[in-house]
Amino acid sequence: MNILILGSGGREHTFAWKIAQSSKCKKLFVAPGNSGTAKIAKNIPISVTNFEAIKTVVIENDIDMVVVGPEDPLVKGIHDFFLNDETIKNVAVIGPQKAAAQLEGSKEFAKEFMYRHNIPTAAYKSFNATTIEAGYAFLETLKPPYVLKADGLAAGKGVVILNHIEEAKAELKKMLVDSKFGAASSKVVIEEFLEGIELSCFVLTDGKHYKILPTAKDYKRIGEGDTGLNTGGMGAISPVPFANETFLNKIEERIVKPTIKGLQKDNLPYKGFVFIGIIKVGDDPKIIEYNVRMGDPETEVVLPRLKNDLVDLFKAIANQSLNTLEIEIDERAATTVMLVSGGYPEAYEKGKIITGTEKIKESIVFHAGAQIKGDTIVTSGGRVMAVTSYGTTYKEALKKSYQNIEKLHFDKINYRKDIGFDL
């Protein structure tokens, strides 16, 4: 079959790398893609939210399956767009329909879903500009730190955690009254702070059945020791060493099963990945958030550990026969370290020439914000490349990633040297 992947990050390069290994994939396209996907697929320079342009590409290239990388097109309803169009309604789309994508598109919707289905999560209330006084009063009932979340999509920046009540009240006003995150913060969820260590759980579902993929832990802060500003993710490890069998069983029974059942009960059509952000509070898992896609850079460690043909899994999702397949996992650990542009996640320069990728043999280099320019590869984003390695232990894998990074160069390169420090 012919397959189109939507997106341009390390996650999408990893999807392309994995799908390119399948004998079931005839032609592979990525829109818009990057320098990494250009080597194994055909890049098409269109935006992931330009549905009409995507439709044209699908028809012209006889595409049978569209794999949606980022959340934006899902929340905007790309799956429904396909289903509602006679000419492309039989194309398999991997990603939930709009109603279900609200699990990521609206924090309030997600919290209501968790409560309705008794899925353990932090206590919360939500507020808008007309109920801001009640919001202040609710903050008074909580202990610090205070967690404020813009309801809508805010490019990963919509969660603010503050230590002082006055700061929290001022932030609530900025979000609700001064539109700090635009329409995304016209509603704000305030929730109880959960103390614990985080991990990510990934589930594939066809809407009826589910399969759990390996866990991963990502490192979101720019600075070593988890300090400084939040980023899209600076590195990841899979599996998560502290997630033992007992804990994983709790996640499956208390979170995954009620989530999949809840989707069915609420008539939320879902064919794709559910990314569940979890925090381990004592010995118990609580859910922090749903994302309706794979994580980035978690994909760069989860997919390399998946032995199955990914196209088989996607076909089973499309025709709701996921129950007929078994997931096979590589026992080895995988780690990835993200190379970023100096200055990121604040202002940074682009267009820096990247050298050394051809010298790397023992690691896999997944390109993210990198593009081909003439005979060179240049930086085009904040997160530039993810260097993934396998090892018997995560420490061994990390050592390999760090050794190989030494061979890669671009001006003002930056990366965290302490991935896994807390494990």
Closer residue to ligand AMP in complex, CB, 280/315: 280
Burial 79-102, CB ≥16 within 10 A → b, else e: bbbbeeeeebeebbbbbbbbbbbb
Q: Which of 147, 234, 260, 387 binds ligand AMP (CB under 6 A)?
A: 147
- List the one residue out of 380, 366, 372 whose CA is nearest residue 10: 366
Interaction between residue 226 and ligand AMP (CB under 6 A): no
Closer residue to ligand GLY in complex, CB, 33/70: 70
Residue 12 site contact among ligand GLY, ligand AMP, none (CB < 5 to 8 Å, cut-off depends on kind): none
Q: Which of 85, 167, 198, 284 binds ligand AMP (CB under 6 A)?
A: 198
CB-based contact 364:388 (threshold 8 Å): yes
Residue 288 site contact among ligand GLY, ligand AMP, none (CB < 5 to 8 Å, cut-off depends on kind): ligand AMP
Residue 198 site contact among ligand AMP, ligand GLY, none (CB < 5 to 8 Å, cut-off depends on kind): ligand AMP
The binding site for ligand GLY (CB under 6 A) comprises 218, 233, 291, 295-296, 298
Closer residue to ligand GLY in complex, CB, 291/341: 291
Smallest gap from residue 147 Cβ to ligand GLY (A): 17
Angular region, 53: left φ>0, alpha ψ -120 to 50, beta rest: alpha
Closer residue to ligand AMP in complex, CB, 63/292: 292
Interaction between residue 213 and ligand AMP (CB under 6 A): no
Residue list 158-177, contact with ligand AMP (CB under 6 A): 159
Q: How far apart are the first and last CA of the chain?
A: 42
Interaction between residue 287 and ligand AMP (CB under 6 A): no
Closer residue to ligand AMP in complex, CB, 100/318: 100
Interaction between residue 142 and ligand AMP (CB under 6 A): no
Closer residue to ligand AMP in complex, CB, 159/165: 159
Interaction between residue 122 and ligand AMP (CB under 6 A): yes
Q: Which residues bind ligand AMP (CB under 6 A)?
A: 122, 147, 159, 191, 193-194, 198, 277, 288-289
